[in-house]
Structure 1
């Protein structure tokens, strides 16, 4: 393990950086922070101080507590969205590559239709139908990212489906499910890991944008994008809530993006050959 960490310093740093933020979100209620919903009006818009390390917002709520709990909202929304899009898009991409023919053409044309819409416009359209909430934002992001996973996995799946060992498995009578789960899916794991990390990074920004517009998590739920939106109205009086919420979004997105790049560099055999 130590030797692996020394050989892959970037991957180790990225994994630790992301893990710390995830653990911070998971154990937020156990950190002994103030109640993120508690309003202390006499402490409104205070700067960082020994009691409130990152200051307070316009309602006297502790900024640090709301950011930590905002991590939970953002991570839960983004992980749910990317997980659903991976399950739907990845399955459709693999099945389209495996069965081919008319099934492949129909699935890919549907994905092309979804690709034709700008990401934010499609997400806003979905939320307009479902109503603004964190779960609506998660479903909207999942729909937006489904064609990305479908296209991404279809390409390498076509190569694997044409390989000799897959044709051999078909020749000896292996079922479609056995071939997909034992031969196709394991060979796509590296692609899935890298793309999942990169899309989590992008999903953090999309979720924050939707919350900023009032289409994601609704008040008084702590949300990084919502904190940024509320704090912009008081930048001249107290910039701390907006500044620290912006940094939290930056660190979360940067962590997943760095992890995706590090995984790609580690798992891609072509890059190893160049090195």
Structure 2
């Protein structure tokens, strides 16, 4: 895998873009940034300068530090959501492919019901029940994306369930748990990896939209969508908080989307042969 990353310039670039943003979010307290919560009213709505490289917002808070810490909030929410969706949806998809019959029909019809709802409408409905918060947004996004993982893993799992080594494992008395998680899941790893990267990109946009509407992270927690929402009221006086927050959302989503595309091109044998 490391050799594939080195030999693929697009994949290497995507890994660097994502790694820089993720590491910046993780090690934000070690970067020597200003306190993202500190309000300096006399410095409010200042343009970019040597003290505040990206300017300040309407409360005098440093925009750069709030964006870096906003990466933290967005990534924590989105990674939690996608992992939950993968665990729940992926497990249901593999179980449906393995047991088939009435279990498969019930699970997939339930997933079809969830698919029938628009993404934002379903997420807002879940948050309306749970209350607005970062964790509610994570649960809502997980519910929205669980059917995608279920459908995605069910298809190739149906093929793998008919393979000789799975039939051989059944013949020697291997348990269903062992077959599903030690034979099915490892053979779906490339599909899981690519789809996880792509859904992280989409989840970032959904989380930013929910925060923009006031349904995600709540003030004063730094959040990219919330910064965009607060900054839109001062676009004529101080556009930099909204502009830079918007670019941060763009770069974060672009990085994961590019990573997902590059991984798909690298791991899909059909695409490798075509290139």
Q: Pick the TM interval, shorter chain.
A: over 0.9
Runs of 4+ in 1 over 6 A off after TM superposition: none
CA RMSD of aligned residues (A): 1.0
Matched with 1:13 is 13
> For the residues of structure 2 that align with 1:210 and 1:174, how far apart are their CA atoms?
45
Matched with 1:89 is 89
Matched with 2:152 is 152
1:129-170 deviation line (CA, Å, top 9, x unaligned): 011000000000000000000000000000000112111111
Matched with 2:58 is 58
User: More displaced, 248-257 or 165-174?
Assistant: 165-174
> For the residues of structure 1 that align with 2:169 and 2:28, how far apart are their CA atoms?
49
Whether the 8 Å CA contact 2:123–2:141 is kept in 1: the answer is yes
Matched with 1:163 is 163
Shift of 1:97: 0.2
> For the residues of structure 2 that align with 1:172 and 1:131, how far apart are their CA atoms?
50
Shift of 1:4: 3.8
| Structure 1 residues 187-266: aligned runs within 5 Å | 187-266=187-266
Shift of 1:3: 5.4
Shift of 1:98: 0.3
TM-score between the two structures when normalised by the length of structure 1: 0.98
TM-score between the two structures when normalised by the length of structure 2: 0.98
> For the residues of structure 2 that align with 1:114 and 1:94, how far apart are their CA atoms?
18
Question: Which consecutive unaligned segments of at least 5 residues does structure 2 have?
Answer: none
| Structure 1 residues 106-185: aligned runs within 5 Å | 106-185=106-185
Question: How many aligned positions are there?
Answer: 275
Shift of 1:274: 1.2
Matched with 1:75 is 75
Matched with 2:99 is 99
> For the residues of structure 2 that align with 1:69 and 1:272, how far apart are their CA atoms?
38
> For the residues of structure 1 that align with 2:6 and 2:179, how far apart are their CA atoms?
37
User: More displaced, 5-14 or 229-238?
Assistant: 5-14
> For the residues of structure 2 that align with 1:92 and 1:3, how far apart are their CA atoms?
34
Question: Which consecutive unaligned segments of at least 5 residues does structure 1 have?
Answer: none
Change in Cα spacing, 1:194 to 1:2, as seen in structure 2 (3 Å) is closer
> For the residues of structure 1 that align with 2:169 and 2:106, how far apart are their CA atoms?
27
SS at match of 2:75: helix
1:22-67 deviation line (CA, Å, top 9, x unaligned): 0000001111111000000000100000000000000000000100
SS at match of 2:168: helix
